[in-house]
Amino acid sequence: GEDVEQSLFLSVREGDSSVINCTYTDSSSTYLYWYKQEPGAGLQLLTYIFSNMDMKQDQRLTVLLNKKDKHLSLRIADTQTGDSAIYFCAESSDYGGSQGNLIFGKGTKLSVKP
């Protein structure tokens, strides 16, 4: 079945850029999402990209999509301690279907050191 893979941990220094990577297997993926989860909270939608795009930028966030390699990345510029959280990659593979089920990766825990 479909699968989404992420590395489990990433540690960076405050002010550096963070790059969180994700690979997926479903070639029919239409939208890919990044969610952020702070300790003890639910998932917050950060950004998403349509599969016919290769890049999307939103303030400090840059999403890159390599559809050929099924690789998605999230770059956070000037990483701050408030960016410490778990980041989930997710893909949606039903073509505008009514159900909107997502396949999630296991999440990457980002630790930002002062």
Q: How far is the CB of 68 from other proteins (least distance, A)?
A: 21
Options 79, 85, 107, 112; binder of other proteins; rule CB under 8 A: 107
Q: Taking CB under 8 A as the criterion, which residues in 16-55 touch other proteins? A: 30-31, 33, 35, 40-45, 48, 50
Is 4 in contact with 89 (CB distance < 8 Å)? yes
Q: How far is the CB of 37 from other proteins (least distance, A)?
A: 9
| Rounded (10°) CA dihedral 26, 27, 28, 30 | 90
Q: Would you say 100 or 114 has its CB closer to other proteins?
A: 100
Instruction: Pull the structure tokens for residue 92.
Output: 């949606």
Alpha-carbon distance 8 to 62, whole Å?
A: 20
Q: Assign residue 25 a region: left if phi > 0, alpha if psi is -120 to 50, beta otherwise?
A: alpha
Q: Would you say 38 or 78 has its CB closer to other proteins?
A: 38
Q: Which residues of this chain interact with other proteins, rule CB under 8 A?
A: 30-31, 33, 35, 40-45, 48, 50, 88, 92, 96, 98-102, 104-107
